Amino acid sequence: MNQNKHIPLLQVKDLGLTIKNRKYLFFHKKVEILKNINFTLEKGQTLVLTGDAGSGKSSLLHILNNPDIPHSGEVLVYGKPLKDFERRDRVGFIRLLSSDYNNAINPHKRVNFILEQPLKINTDYSTVQRDYRIDKILEYVGLSSSIKYSYPGFLTSNQMLRLAFARALVMEPEILLVDSNIEKLDAQLRSHCLNMLLDCQEEKDTALVICLNDIGLIKHIADNILVLSQGRQEDYGNAKFIISKPEKEITKRLIQDYNNEYRIRPER
């Protein structure tokens, strides 16, 4: 994978997803979940997916995470289809960060096991190398390495969030996918999570794809924004530009709904 400036890191062309809603034996209804999605993602950039509920944000994220889901169109990484990569390469390349850490981390396994498993499956590292890697990643996210032999149940919410980060970053991915559970975290933890994402982007030049509904947060972290509605791509471009001068109906409505009368604007 040589870095050529003209080839973007991630390119999605004409992506579509259709599922069959089966009823009885012979009848089925075709439902289009996604249609004609096009975007590119450069290194160190942030793309935010937004839209109404049921507009296909998380389906798009799932396809990026697992290209084995049957879909039409192409997902290209450095100009090469993602499907053609070997599984172990691809898995290390794009990682999903589940910010719903309470449900995403297996409570019956020790921290060491949770972090070691992806390395064991996807790399040829020896035990010593794996240990070294785990220690390094724990130090990076700010956990002490003595935590390795405890169960996730002993950790506080802040440490659990860091563990989720560690698990996502163990394989040193170039693209990090973040699901929309980040909005359900409480205000303190959420800003903590955002800070860590920004840190990661700054130091390792990771590209981020995030599902978000909150326009205030989008304004803060996004470079590009992709607005979806009913599985169709409505708006795509620079976030600052689109939010300050929305043109499409749906974007206007989303921004108007966000700036509702129940939100205080402090004069400061």
Partner 1 sequence: MLLDIRNLSIQLRSETSYIQVCKNFDLMINDGEICSLVGSSGSGKSLIINAIMGMYGHDMKVTMDYFKFRDMDLTNLSVAERRKILSSEVAIIFQEARASLDPELPIGVQMRASLGSHCFDDKWYRWPLWRYRVVNNILHKVGIKNTKQVLRALPYQLSEVLCQKIIIAMALSRKPKLLIADSPISGMTSTSQVQILKLFHSYVENSKGTLLYVTNDLGPASNLMDTIKMLYCGQIVESGPKEQVINCPHHPFTQSMINAIPEFNRQVKLKMKLDVLKGDPPEFTKTPIGCPLGPRCPHADRECNTMPPIVKTKNGFFRCYYPLNMEKENESK
Q: Which residues pair with 207 in a beta bridge?
A: 175
151 binds partner 1 (CB under 8 A): no
- Provide, rounded to whole angstroms, the least separation between the CB of residue 130 and partner 1: 28
- Per CB under 8 A, which of residues 202..231 are in contact with partner 1? 213-217, 219-221
Question: Which residues have CB under 8 Å from 138's CB, separation 6+?
Answer: 115, 144, 145, 147, 148, 166
Among 158, 204, 236, 243, binds partner 1 (CB under 8 A): 158
97: exposed, middle or buried (Cβ count in 10 Å: 0-12, 13-18, 19+) = buried
Asked if residue 104 binds partner 1 (CB under 8 A), the reply is no
189 binds partner 1 (CB under 8 A): yes
Q: Binding to partner 1 by residue 68, rule CB under 8 A?
A: no
The nearer residue to partner 1, 72 or 259, going by C-beta atoms, is 259
Nearer to partner 1, 97 or 215 (CB): 215
Q: Tell me: does residue 98 bind partner 1 (CB under 8 A).
A: no
Among 54, 79, 81, 237, binds partner 1 (CB under 8 A): 54
Q: Which pair of structure tokens corresponds to residue 12? A: 């999605």
Residue with tokens 């579509």, as numbered in its chain: 16
SS3 content of the chain, % helix, strand, coil (to 5): 45, 25, 30
E-state strands within the chain: 10-23, 27-41, 46-51, 72-77, 80-81, 94-97, 175-178, 207-211, 224-229, 232-238
Interacting residue ranges for partner 1, rule: CB under 8 A: 51-54, 156-159, 180-181, 183-192, 194-195, 198-199, 213-217, 219-221, 240, 253-254, 257-258, 260-268
